[in-house]
Chain A
Amino acid sequence: MPAASGKRFKPSKYVPVSAAAIFLVGATTLFFAFTCPGLSLYISPVIPVYNAVVFLFVLANFSMATFMDPGIFPRAEEDEDKEDDFRAPLYKTVEIKGIQVRMKWCATCRFYRPPRCSHCSVCDNCVEEFDHHCPWVNNCIGRRNYRYFFLFLLSLTTHIMGVFGFGLLYVLYQVEELSGVRMAVTMVVMCVAGLFFIPVAGLTGFHVVLVARGRTTNEQVTGKFRGGVNPFTNGCCKNVSRVLCSSPAPRYLGRPKAEQTVLVRPPFLRPEVSDGQITVKIMDNGIQTELKRTKSKGSLEVTESQSADAEPPPPPKPDLSRYTGLRTHLTLATNEDSSLLGKDSPPTPTMYKYRPGYSSSSSSAALPHSTSAKLSRVNSLKEPNSICESSRKPSYRSEPSLEPESFRSPTFGKSFHFDPLSSGSRSSSLKSAQGTGFEMGHLQSIRSEGTTSTSYKSLVNQTRNGSLSYDSLLTPSDSPDFESVQAGPEPDPPVGYTSPFLSARIAQQRETDLHGRFAGAISPKHAPPREPSPVRYDNLSRHIVASIQEREKLLQQPPAPGREEDVGLADSGIQSTPGSSNAPRTSSSSDDSKRSPLGKNPLTRPAPPRFGKPEPPQALRVRSLGSPDQPAAPHLGKSVSYSSQKPASQASVPEMEEVALQPLLAPKDEVQMRTAYSKSNGQPKSLGSAPPGPGQVPLSSPTRGGVKKVSGVGGTTYEISV
């Protein structure tokens, strides 16, 4: 036999089909040539006609069974089995009519074989409803050609019976002489027919039973349903009709490829996210992880509840994404930006420290953070305005004109029009989180923000008072470390922030967004070079701001050298939290890439709650522990930047701490905070005493041993030495 060609021609596999063809055609031809003339002459001319018809039928079905695609599955493409390589199980179970059926992974075809599908080793293909590989037709018998195979068997049986019968008739009738050629040929044909009749009839009977039972040869031979129930049967009649009367299934291979004429072009529509639909998934971009880790379920819940409640239609995507860090997956676009957020240190309530007097505006700024979902709740802000008025006035006084920072606003404002104040439809979480006290402050901040400077106007317009930027909070005189810290004398009392979570996030967001942008702009404002700190005081509660102011005064005294350490310790405590943040990632797969950098972040540096912007090195270099003016760690100290680089900063640092911590606290803790503030105001903190533990007390725990643990946004615990 000829040697292999490129495709390894295997002649052996064609032997059975050739033999079958030869026997079939040859014998029938002989029958027609030698037997039929006599029969037609002496008995009836119908006989040859009948036999011809049957023979034609046999041939047709034989051809179809041989040449028709049995239902070969095309190989799965690369991207379909991306997850199925190493970790995927070999079997997948599926329930069919209450019966568990296993689907096996086909390594060749790279998919899980559908039920009743099997891989033919001869053809090296997975075949749908695989019956068997028939050597006589040299083809697999599957879904598409089983009918033709079955009919071939039936018709072949009929044909054999006919040939044998009519040959016998011819012989018995002795129409001609027995010794004649015709007689001999007829007898040969009869022998062949008789010989083949037994296996063919047997096979036919076998398949008749299979069809009636609704099984395939494969299933019967492997005993799949032996003693069990066949989930693929619909009853005898339906099974038969399904085999014989159903429309021929289409082939999968060899189809003309349809040209895709549909253009996919951005911009893409995004679905409107209704309140009830938003599934807030706190992305583990480093911020949340810390928060969650630490502990307090309580604080975490607050956070989550807040975000869960915030479900306004998402703001324009690009903006929205900035603040996703803690938010959710409102849109896919957010994912990219979440990474930004993740990289930053968690939002720190530090901003509060720096802007004691600025209560309302800061809180409102904080709000947008958490309410990423609430972004579009512009409406609700209206209410606060009225409330703000009364309480707000003082806060604007000291607000510096932060024109340079105004550029932040667009970012900030764009991203959300949150309605921090809980009014009706607004995220109830805010309400719950903060209570009315915050509202007031928040309102104030909102109002103040709105009216403060032209730079805010855009914010206000966009965010509807919701996104008060920190800009107003920045005062040039502020401690250099904290760029946005307006800790100075004139800070407005912080408007009650809506929630610690919000504030933290806002800070974080701000920081992220504005980090780059403001770096240049803000630095000139402050003498020491430091990164722009988009910490916003919007959310600072009045109390916080007030306490900050208090403390500032108190801290005008010589700053305690130990403060840095304390701060550092506190920071270290915070740092530990991020480490485990990776766990609660709920984002979609697209977030994975984003998450990873986030996950690393906390570990690399102390990751206090993100406030968007790391404090200027000096003030917040808690970690650096005494290295003043470290421009480097922007993310670090936000939450607990107590760096005591400068007296001013030091003074503000503790306040910042506390203020910063405040947003993290639940409303109920505000009171505690205040007490804590008062305590801490007078003394430089020695944080060193107790390393903050991640699982520590949830919201501000009473000071003990000079270390106060405050829960930050999302449950991060900060220890502040008081």
Chain B
Amino acid sequence: MALLPGPPAPQQGCPAPDGCSPPPHPAAPQVHSLQELRRSASLATKVFVQRDYSDGTTCQFQTKFPPELESRIERQLFEETVKTLNGFYAEAEKIGGSSYLEGCLACATAYFIFLCMETHYEKVLKKISKYIQEQNEKIYAPRGLLLTDPLERGMRVIEISIYEDRCSSGSSSSGSSSSSSGGGGGGAGGR
């Protein structure tokens, strides 16, 4: 994911004596001038919410509140997010009429139907992705956190990136490098 520093805004006494040059193109490699790096967030650490295997291999995540998020986000918000995600995954893996019919149809068409149609699981994954994005926008990003879709990690963990407020330049380079490395890792995983 790309961390977009955005135009620096002097707040909380953060000095931005120089002017602010326009932020770089989001998709471009993270090359910033000093001014741009002011008042940006940099990746501080990552928290990993592990899978909850107590019910077998069904995809569920632990709702235990990580201590690193203690001061960053309210407990119930986090738990609600994880519970919703768990609900989504349970729905995706649900064996019911729709999935059975889908299987039959696929068999009947010698699985050519998969070229045209999305599976039920994929549909739910899209919903999940949208939900995570919405959560990020509304809840997590304002708190300096970022959720990563567990699908990118093989559904083993929910990765929560914790960002720190940096008033000085240079820190965002580390943040951008981590984000680009994260992107690179994800791309490599997508081989």
Contacts and interface: CB of A to CB of B under 8 A. Distances in A.
B53 A114 contact: yes
Interface string B117-150: 0011110010001000100110011111110010
29 contacts: A57-B110, A60-B110, A78-B181, A80-B157, A96-B54, A97-B54, A129-B57, A238-B95, A247-B102, A249-B121, A250-B122, A250-B125, A252-B155, A256-B190, A258-B152, A262-B133, A264-B163, A265-B41, A266-B144, A266-B163, A268-B144, A271-B71, A271-B73, A273-B71, A316-B12, A318-B12, A329-B70, A333-B165, A588-B67
Nearest to B27: A259
Interface of B: 1-6, 11-13, 26-27, 39-41, 44-46, 48, 51, 53-57, 67-68, 70-75, 92-95, 99-100, 102-103, 107, 110-111, 114, 119-122, 125, 129, 133, 136-137, 140-146, 149, 151-157, 159, 162-166, 178-179, 181-183, 185-191
B57 A115 contact: yes
A268 B73 CA distance: 10
B143 A270 contact: yes
Given A60-B107, A60-B111, 19 more contacts: A75-B185, A75-B188, A77-B185, A95-B53, A96-B55, A128-B154, A232-B56, A245-B100, A253-B189, A255-B190, A258-B1, A258-B129, A265-B4, A266-B144, A268-B72, A269-B144, A271-B71, A271-B73, A588-B70
A238 B93 CA distance: 13
A263 to B, nearest CB: 5
Contact of B72 (A95, A231, A250, A270): A270
A252 B189 contact: yes
B41 A74 contact: no
Contact of B46 (A80, A279, A330): A80
A442 interface: no
B12 A73 contact: no
Contacts of A79: 46, 178
A12 interface: no
A359 B72 CA distance: 39
A10 interface: no
A249 B71 CA distance: 36
B189 A262 contact: no
B57 A74 contact: no
Contacts of A279: 70
A268 B163 contact: yes
B159 A80 contact: yes
Q: Chain B interface secondary structure, helix, strand, loop or mixed?
A: mixed
Contacts of A257: 152, 183, 186-187, 190
Contacts of A64: 111
B57 A232 contact: yes
Given A96-B55, A101-B53, A331 B137 contact: no
B12 A267 contact: yes
B92 A247 contact: yes
A40 interface: no
B137 A254 contact: no
A66 B172 CA distance: 45
Contacts of B141: 262-265
A250 B59 CA distance: 12
A147 to B, nearest CB: 8
Interface in A287-339: 316, 318, 329-333
A222 interface: no
B165 to A, nearest CB: 4
Contacts of B67: 588
Listed from nearest, the 5 A-B pairs whose CB atoms lie closest are A260-B1, A74-B189, A268-B144, A266-B165, A60-B110
Contacts of A272: 74
A508 B66 CA distance: 31
Given A252-B154, A260-B2, A268-B165, A96 B99 contact: no
Interface in A65-101: 73-80, 94-97, 101
B151 to A, nearest CB: 7
A232 to B, nearest CB: 6
